[in-house]
Structures are given as structure tokens and as C-alpha cells.
């Protein structure tokens, strides 16, 4: 006979509850019954039935109570073999849940109101007693809110954890930060430096937290960006001697001069990529697999190997192999005329810069680190739109001039972009 699924090994009945996360917020639901609980807020869920898998039970409960399609992506581990204490006969198992994109919770009979709480709104509702601590832990598993897409360089955050990384350094995670971290998968823009409550932040990296609470940082992150089984966090690197206390509210200040230089480099990099697409369009003999937002063959995206943003510049390496030739791009002809193409690109760029057009990063309303963000700038001839996780200038008036250079390499070519 298989083991019962609705009780723990020590015979306690399992109640499942959902930490429903969306765009950095946690779902709270207000109970209508029984009378003793009415008006109290909870993480929605219910009892696991005999023979039922706890995850399946939670998906069922969420469909019955809130009419949503849910996917279990992990758990919020508690102190009782991963569960949370309720009473002698029951434990609470809190599972991390994502909803289908168009699924909106609609309270039925058991609840009358739901709210999406940001980490600092957690105390705004009266949680039922057994849910107070698990809800706080669930909020601690929300991804870091980031303010750098708007250009912010200062802010406040609550310290969620401090991890010793080596003999000298600690990694500090806060609930909200203006710092831009290096991306672990596409490390184009360096992490910000600055200060945290006056202590030097030497670097800033991307990290993940798993269901066991383990923090992986930078190159040690072993999953793809946004993997829902992990919590995605910004990790600020400080001297161990200056580590803040978990729970403290700290002031965060990015080195604004360095950030501005990287933002100029990043915007110039994207503009140069679109200018490259346009000025090399005549070297394509077939319909390309992708076109950019302005309608030109997307050579930049099709052939890019490496991109590095530097202060007031960028380095991009492109591969021109057999597959690119087969796709219809004549790299030899382009490289033979590369100086003329560079001159055309610079002229095009100068025309764009002269408009002083605004440049924005659209987060789609998701303030978290791994939201799908898009950089947009309305230049003549069609908007410049590129998916981007970095920082940018607020308008093209910040860029006096952009120079580009194309250099042949064994693999293909590299593009050097300079601002000024």
C-alpha cells in the first residue's frame, strides 16, 4: 500500500496554503467563514483529501475558492520538516504558486476580498494568527524590486538576508534597490557600485534563492533567467566587516557618475546596433529570419556573440559563419566596404541624436528584477525597440555624438562604439 498523501509521517493532517506571487506581490484573501475566522486574512488554501497530492489539492482549492488556474513552482519552507505548525493534529504546507497570465482571482463563498500586497504592505491587513509568520516568510521569497529601469540611483530597502560569500565579502539582499546587477546569463552591463548605509558596495550581482534557502550568486547561478522555481534577487557585495543587520531599513545610493557613463554606453550600443542593421541591409540577398523594430534585417541579433557595455562605449562581437552566408548575408562585401558603412552609420546616428528623443525602459508594470523589459526610443524612420535588462539615458540629448568602427576578426567582426 502506498503512503497516505494527506498526513505527515508523524500522522498530522496537511493543510496546504498558497504563496501566490505575481509581479513581486503576494496574494492575501479575506475569509467570510466560519464566524470565528470571518474578516481575517490568509494565504488561500485548504485541506488535502486522502489520496490527493498536496500540490494537486492546492490547485483544486484555488480553482474552487478563487476561480484561478495555478501552477505550483516551489514552497516556502517552515521549521517542521518544511511545514509550519498549526495545532497538534495539523500542519500548514505553504507552496509557492504562479497563476496563468490572464487568471484573475475572483472571491467565491469562502472569501469576500483579495489583495495583492507589496513587501511593505504586508502589515496592512489583519492576518489570521497561524498565517502571520508563514506570510512574512512568503514575502521574504518575493523577488527583489528594482528601480534602476526608471533611472533611479537612490532608494531605501529592508535587509532580507546577509550571506558570507568568502573570507572578506558578504552578499546583501534587500527587498527593493536602485542598484543594477550584472546579469548572470547575458553579462553586458557591469553591476553598479555605490553605498549601502554609507558602506561601500563594491559590485552588484544577480542571485537566486531556492526552496531550501540557499543563495547562489553570479556565475554560480545554474538556471536560466527568470526560472520560476527560484527567487531572483539583487546581491550587493560589501566588506564583511560592514555587513548590515537583517531586518534593518538601509539607504542605498548608486555611484551616479559611473551609472550615467554606463547608461550612455548602453543607449549608444543599442542605437549603433540599429544603425548597423540599416546600413548593412543592402548586403542581404534573401529575406532575413528576423527584422528589427524599424523593419531592417536584424543582423545585430542574428549574429551577436558577445556584448559588453563600457563607460561611454560598447564592444560587440559578431560571428559571420557559413550559416549567416547561407541565410543571405554577404559578410565579405560588407567588410570590404566597412569604412563607408561606418560613415553612413555615424551620419544616421547623428540625425537621430539631433532629435533629442526621449529614451525609456518599459517594465510592463512589473517592478521585479527579471521582468521582461523593453528599451524604446522614437527615432526618425521607426521606433527603436529592443528587449533590454540594463539602464539608459533619459533622452538622446545626453549623447553628444556616437562613433562606430567595424574590425574584422577570425570569427566575423567586432563593432566598437564610442560616445563623444
* Contact residues for Zn ion, defined by CB under 5 A: 388, 390
Minimal distance, residue 360 CB to Zn ion, in Å: 13
Minimal distance, residue 309 CB to Zn ion, in Å: 8
Q: Residue 291 has what DSSP assignment?
A: B
Residue 139 vs 349, nearer CB to Zn ion: 349
Minimal distance, residue 396 CB to Zn ion, in Å: 16
Residue 118 vs 301, nearer CB to Zn ion: 301
Residue 171 vs 390, nearer CB to Zn ion: 390
Residue 111 vs 392, nearer CB to Zn ion: 392
Minimal distance, residue 16 CB to Zn ion, in Å: 41
Residues 233/208, Cβ–Cβ less than 8 Å: yes
- 488561500: which residue's cell? 44
Query: What one-character-per-residue DSSP string does 239-256 give?
Result: EGGGPPPTT-EEEEEE-H
Residue 162 vs 271, nearer CB to Zn ion: 271
Minimal distance, residue 267 CB to Zn ion, in Å: 9
Residue 55 vs 359, nearer CB to Zn ion: 359
Instruction: Identify the three-state secondary structure at position 151.
Output: coil
Query: What one-character-per-residue DSSP string does 314-364 give?
Result: EEEEEE--HHHHHHTB-HHHHHHTHHHHHHHHHHHHHHHHHHT-BEEEE-T
Query: What one-character-per-residue DSSP string does 203-249 give?
Result: EEEEEEE-TT--EEEGGG--S-TT-TTSEEEEEEEEEGGGPPPTT-E
Minimal distance, residue 319 CB to Zn ion, in Å: 19
User: What number of other Cβ atoms are within 10 A of residue 350's Cβ?
Assistant: 12
Amino acid at each position: 500500500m502506498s503512503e497516505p498523501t494527506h498526513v505527515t509521517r508523524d500522522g498530522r493532517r496537511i493543510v496546504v496554503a498558497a504563496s501566490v506571487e505575481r509581479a513581486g506581490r503576494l496574494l492575501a484573501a479575506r475569509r467570510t467563514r466560519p464566524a470565528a475566522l470571518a474578516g481575517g486574512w490568509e494565504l488561500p488554501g485548504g485541506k488535502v483529501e486522502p489520496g490527493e497530492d498536496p500540490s494537486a489539492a492546492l490547485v483544486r482549492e484555488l480553482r474552487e475558492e478563487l476561480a484561478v488556474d495555478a501552477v505550483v513552482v516551489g514552497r516556502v519552507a517552515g521549521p517542521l520538516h518544511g511545514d509550519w505548525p498549526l495545532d497538534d493534529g495539523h500542519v500548514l504546507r505553504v507552496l509557492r504558486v504562479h497563476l496563468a497570465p490572464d487568471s484573475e482571482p475572483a472571491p467565491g463563498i469562502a472569501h469576500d476580498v483579495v489583495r495583492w500586497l507589496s513587501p511593505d504592505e504586508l502589515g496592512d491587513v489583519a492576518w489570521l494568527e497561524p498565517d502571520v509568520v508563514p506570510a512574512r516568510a512568503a514575502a521574504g521569497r518575493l523577488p527583489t524590486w528594482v528601480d534602476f529601469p526608471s533611472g533611479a540611483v537612490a532608494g531605501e530597502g529592508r535587509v532580507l538576508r546577509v550571506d558570507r560569500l568568502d573570507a572578506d565579502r558578504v552578499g546583501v539582499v534587500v527587498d527593493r534597490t536602485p542598484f543594477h546587477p550584472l546579469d548572470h546569463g547575458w553579462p553586458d552591463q557591469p553591476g553598479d557600485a555605490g553605498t549601502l548605509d554609507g558602506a561601500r558596495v563594491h559590485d552588484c550581482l544577480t542571485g537566486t534563492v531556492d526552496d531550501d534557502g540557499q543563495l547562489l550568486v553570479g556565475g554560480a547561478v545554474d538556471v536560466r533567467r527568470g526560472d520560476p522555481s527560484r527567487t531572483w534577487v539583487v546581491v550587493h557585495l560589501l566588506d564583511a566587516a560592514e555587513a548590515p543587520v537583517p531586518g534593518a531599513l538601509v539607504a542605498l545610493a548608486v555611484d551616479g557618475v559611473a551609472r550615467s557613463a554606463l547608461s550612455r554606453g548602453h543607449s549608444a550600443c543599442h542605437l549603433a546596433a540599429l544603425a548597423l542593421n540599416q546600413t548593412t541591409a543592402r548586403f542581404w540577398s534573401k529575406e532575413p529570419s528576423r527584422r528589427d523594430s524599424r523593419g531592417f534585417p536584424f543582423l545585430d541579433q542574428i549574429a551577436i556573440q558577445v556584448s559588453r557595455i563600457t563607460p561611454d562605449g560598447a564592444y560587440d562581437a559578431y560571428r559571420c559563419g557559413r550559416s549567416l552566408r547561407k541565410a543571405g548575408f554577404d559578410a565579405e562585401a560588407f567588410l570590404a566596404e566597412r569604412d563607408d558603412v561606418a560613415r553612413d552609420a555615424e551620419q544616421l546616428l547623428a540625425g537621430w541624436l539631433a532629435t533629442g528623443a526621449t529614451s525609456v525602459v518599459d517594465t510592463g508594470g512589473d517592478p521585479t528584477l527579471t521582468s521582461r523589459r523593453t528599451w524604446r526610443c522614437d527615432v526618425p524612420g521607426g521606433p527603436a525597440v529592443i528587449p533590454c535588462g540594463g539602464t539608459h539615458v533619459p533622452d538622446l540629448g545626453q549623447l553628444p555624438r556616437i562613433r562606430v568602427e567595424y574590425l574584422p576578426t577570425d570569427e566575423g567582426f567586432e563593432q566598437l562604439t564610442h560616445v563623444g
